[in-house]
């Protein structure tokens, strides 16, 4: 069997789970045996306390993750496709890159990075579209021990600038532009804006994709292709991988929290590798030769773990798609599945709901018979979408895995294992081996038994968990480990049914989940408040048929003589500038005041209920400074 640690029966799952709880160190040391280490894990496998927090897996062991993702497959599977790339335009030729070729590209680009002065530990910001060079850039950083920080192509110059500063990044890899559906996104222009006033970035490497005009600044900007050509001409097709400690950082990925500033979640080399691989092989029950299609963008954690590191460390064939599900038409996914005989499809409920809106016609005459396993991620999946996916895409013969996890987790924590453990619509079901969930009430008291609900925490470390938030360990502690003593708090609420299956009910903090993207309400408020006419704002989520959650903004606006609809457009433009279009409110309501307690705290609970359409049971409003404001807000609801 190719993956000796692949669980094949429900009983095996139960045994593995039990072992992972009884002796986690022995359990993970056994799994770690199946990787290539320069120096194998030995002695103490795990050091931890959640107080500081301090989490170290396999410390002292040495490896380079790219030797596991590339080199070790070369001898037997060098010609196996590592990446199948489908471009945005269905008429453009796809690219199929074998492990051998990918290894070569990564080695060459690693030389390019070195030639441009990148060293182990340097932070490299990557802002690219979904082209194979993005995966190559990531792996090349890992090859030489540089820490990559990928920023999703939808973020604004301001967001990039904040992230560059926070990570003290000295290098950027970008593209001239990116294609996304009918749009061309001028990535390099955005980077140029982000770099105004920046003093730390020494070099920008620009890869060609859309051929839009870009300004190349002498001494700072270089072309990817020219740099690669030089290396190629010198015959530099190999580079020795940097030896990394298992606990050396591999990457930073920024994610939103309940404060206004995104956090740089830090993942390390050894634990992250073991966990993404283990979860990939088990949740999706991957078999060699299968084509795995994860539709996420590599700018998010799902792309990091289940397009790049998980599949490649398992020698899998990973399909990478540049476009969007609905362009040029709503049959895009189905065409790709048909064209490349995709076996595993991993997507987001928001994509499923949006495709549902087009009915089943786009699926007609598409051969989806290659599909064996379906997955969802990013947000709770409603039963209707689950059944549509099951019936129309999986034709009722593909197990669906509902995978719950977070940027901070590195890999999937709660999910059924495809066809091995039971599925239940809208339930993530059971924890993976090594994952010990617990539900607590607001006081941190464990909620025991079944048919209960509470706040979801994890009580023991797993190898893929975050180690810190970049440059601010205290922030990591207060965000995740201080709410409840000795527990990692996920920020999610969950219920546990009579079988012990978990259903994730959504965030219990001020974080929204819009189309599977995490956005902090405080972040959006900060952006809205930057508009000159805005006095104050409050942002809440409300149920949205396609996006899962929509953004509802209550705004006190004092612009003189400006038409309301124009003022709202200005606010949207401000949010787009400050964060990016993904954070634009769906609804903006101008109000004369916000419901506040006497101590000045905004009563978001009331605003949330009004946004949800509730007018009667708003709870206790007697503590409000000015209860009258609630009636006004109710009347003006959009």
Stretch that binds ligand PRX, among 64-72, 119-127, 142-150, 502-510 (CB under 6 A): 502-510
Task: Give the torsion through C-alpha atoms of 610, 614, 618, 624, to 10 deg.
Answer: 20
520 is a site residue for ligand PRX (CB under 6 A): no
Q: Which of 71, 104, 248, 402 binds ligand PRX (CB under 6 A)?
A: 402
Q: Pick from 407, 436, 549, 574 the residue near ligand PRX by CB under 6 A.
A: 407
Give the nearer residue to ligand PRX in terms of CB position, either 260 or 533: 260
Q: Select the residue interacting with ligand PRX from 275, 286, 404, 484 (CB under 6 A).
A: 404
Cis ω before 598 (30° cut-off from 0): no
| Residue 46 bridge partners (DSSP) | 57
Instruction: Please provide residue 492's backbone torsions phi and psi, each rounded to the nearest 5 degrees.
Output: -105, 150
Between 123 and 518, CB nearer to ligand PRX: 518
For residue 518, state whether it binds ligand PRX (rule: CB under 6 A). Answer: yes
Give the position of tokens 């795995």. Answer: 292
Site for ligand PRX in 217-256 (CB under 6 A): 255
- Only one residue has tokens 């003593």, namely 485
Of the pair 582, 624, the CB lying nearest ligand PRX is at 582
Q: Where are the alpha helices (DSSP H) in 424-542?
A: 473-476, 521-529
Least spacing, CB of residue 548 vs ligand PRX, in Å: 9
> What is the helix (H) or strand (E) element at residue 21, kind and residue range?
helix 10-22
What gap in Å lies between CA 237 and CA 533, rounded to an integer? 57
Is 507 a binder of ligand PRX (CB under 6 A)?
yes
**Measured distance CA(300)–CA(347) in Å, rounded:** 13
Of 353, 393, 348, nearest to 373 (Cα)?
A: 393
CA distances 251 to 356, 448, 572, Å, are 36, 36, 32
Contact 432, 279 (CB under 8 A): yes
When binding is defined by CB under 6 A, the residue of 436, 513, 521, 574 that contacts ligand PRX is 513
Q: How far is the CB of 582 from ligand PRX (least distance, A)?
A: 11
Which residues neighbour 504 within 8 Å (Cβ) at sequence distance 6 or greater?
Answer: 380, 404, 414, 428, 456, 492, 493, 494
DSSP, collapsed to helix, strand or coil, labels residue 189 as helix
Question: Which residue of 77, 343, 406, 549 would you call a contact of ligand PRX, by CB under 6 A?
Answer: 406
Closer Cβ to ligand PRX, 68 or 416, answer by number: 416
Closer residue to ligand PRX (CB): 50 or 404: 404
- Binding pattern to ligand PRX, positions 577-616, x when CB under 6 A? ----------------------------------------
Q: Could you say which of 264, 491, 541, 580 contacts ligand PRX (CB under 6 A)?
A: 491
Quick one: which of 112, 135, 319, 377 contacts ligand PRX (CB under 6 A)?
Answer: 377
Residue nearest to ligand PRX (CB): 407
Residue with Cβ nearer ligand PRX (98 or 285): 285
Distance CA 322, CA 607 (A): 38
DSSP state of 559: -
- Among residues 405, 480, 501, 542, which is the contact residue for ligand PRX, using CB under 6 A? 405
- Contacts of 356-365 with CB under 8 Å at 24 or more apart are 356/384, 356/385, 356/388, 357/546, 358/326, 358/330, 360/392, 362/329, 362/330, 362/331, 362/334, 363/331, 363/334, 363/392, 363/393
Nearer to ligand PRX by C-beta: 315 or 454? Answer: 454
- Cβ-based nearer residue to ligand PRX, 71 or 166: 166
Which stretch in 75-83, 323-331, 360-368, 373-381 sits in contact with ligand PRX by CB under 6 A? 373-381
Nearer to ligand PRX, 210 or 259 (CB): 259
| Tokens of residue 413, six digits | 């924590």
* Residue 536 Cβ vs ligand PRX, minimum distance, rounded to whole Å: 27
Least distance (Å) between residue 414 CB and ligand PRX: 8
CB of 500 to ligand PRX, least distance (A): 17
Burial 544-574 (b: 16+ CB within 10 A, else e): bebbbbbbbbbbbbebeeeeeeebbebbbeb
Residues engaged in binding ligand PRX (CB under 6 A): 255, 301-302, 377-380, 402-407, 428, 490-492, 504, 506-507, 513, 518
């Amino acid at each position: 069997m190719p993956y000796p640690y692949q669980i094949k029966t429900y009983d095996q799952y139960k045994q593995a789970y039990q072992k992972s709880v009884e002796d986690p160190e022995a359990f993970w040391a056994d799994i770690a045996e199946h990787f290539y280490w320069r120096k194998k894990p030995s002695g103490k496998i795990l050091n931890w306390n959640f107080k500081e927090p301090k989490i170290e897996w396999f410390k002292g062991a040495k490896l380079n993750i790219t030797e596991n993702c590339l080199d070790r497959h070369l001898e037997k599977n060098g010609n196996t496709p590592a990446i199948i790339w489908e471009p945005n335009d269905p008429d453009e030729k796809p690219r199929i890159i074998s492990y051998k070729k990918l290894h070569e590209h990564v080695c060459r680009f690693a030389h390019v990075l070195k030639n441009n002065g990148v060293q182990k530990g340097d932070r490299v910001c990557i802002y690219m579209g979904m082209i194979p060079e993005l995966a190559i850039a990531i792996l090349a950083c890992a090859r030489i021990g540089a820490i990559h920080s990928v920023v999703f192509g939808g973020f604004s110059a301001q967001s990039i600038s904040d992230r560059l500063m926070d990570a003290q990044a000295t290098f950027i890899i970008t593209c001239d532009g990116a294609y996304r559906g009918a749009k061309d996104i001028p990535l390099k222009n955005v980077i140029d804006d982000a770099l105004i006033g920046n003093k730390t970035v020494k070099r920008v490497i620009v890869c060609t994709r859309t051929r839009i005009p870009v300004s190349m600044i002498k001494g700072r900007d270089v072309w990817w292709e020219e740099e690669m050509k030089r290396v190629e001409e010198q015959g530099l097709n190999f580079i020795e991988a940097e030896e990394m400690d298992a606990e050396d950082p591999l990457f930073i990925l920024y994610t939103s929290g309940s404060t206004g500033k995104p956090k740089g979640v830090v993942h390390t080399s050894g634990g992250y590798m073991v966990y993404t691989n283990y979860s990939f092989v088990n949740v999706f029950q991957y078999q060699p030769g299968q084509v795995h299609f994860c539709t996420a963008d590599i700018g998010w954690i799902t792309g990091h773990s289940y397009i790049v590191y998980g599949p490649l460390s398992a020698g899998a064939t990973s399909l990478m798609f540049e476009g969007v599900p609905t362009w040029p038409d709503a049959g895009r996914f189905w065409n790709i599945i048909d064209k490349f005989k995709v076996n595993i499809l991993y997507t987001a409920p928001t994509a499923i709901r949006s495709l549902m809106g087009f009915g089943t016609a786009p699926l007609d005459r598409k051969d989806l018979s290659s599909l064996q396993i379906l997955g969802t991620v990013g947000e709770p999946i409603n039963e209707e979408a689950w059944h549509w996916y099951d019936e129309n895409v999986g034709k009722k013969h593909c197990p669906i895995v509902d995978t719950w996890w977070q940027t901070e987790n590195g890999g999937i924590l709660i999910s059924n294992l495809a066809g091995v453990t039971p599925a239940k619509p809208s339930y993530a079901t059971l924890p993976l081996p090594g994952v010990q969930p617990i539900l607590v009430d607001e006081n941190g008291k464990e909620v025991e038994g079944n048919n209960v609900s509470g706040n979801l925490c994890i009580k023991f470390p797993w190898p893929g968990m975050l180690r810190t938030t970049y440059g601010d360990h205290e922030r990591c502690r207060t965000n995740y480990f201080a709410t409840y003593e000795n527990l990692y708090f996920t920020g999610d609420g969950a219920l546990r049914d009579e079988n012990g299956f978990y259903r994730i009910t959504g965030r219990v903090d001020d974080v929204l989940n819009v189309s599977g993207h995490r956005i902090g309400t405080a972040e959006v408020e900060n952006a809205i408040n930057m508009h000159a006419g805005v006095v104050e704002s409050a942002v809440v989520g409300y149920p949205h048929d396609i996006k899962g959650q929509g953004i509802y903004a209550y705004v006190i606006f004092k612009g003189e003589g400006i038409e309301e609809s124009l003022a709202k457009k200005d606010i949207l433009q401000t949010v787009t500038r400050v964060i990016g279009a993904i954070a634009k409110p769906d609804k903006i309501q101008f109000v004369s005041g916000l419901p506040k307690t006497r101590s000045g705290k905004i009563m978001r609970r009331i605003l949330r209920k009004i946004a949800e359409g509730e007018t009667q049971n708003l709870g206790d409003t007697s503590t409000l400074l000015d209860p009258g404001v609630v009636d006004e807000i109710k009347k003006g609801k959009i």
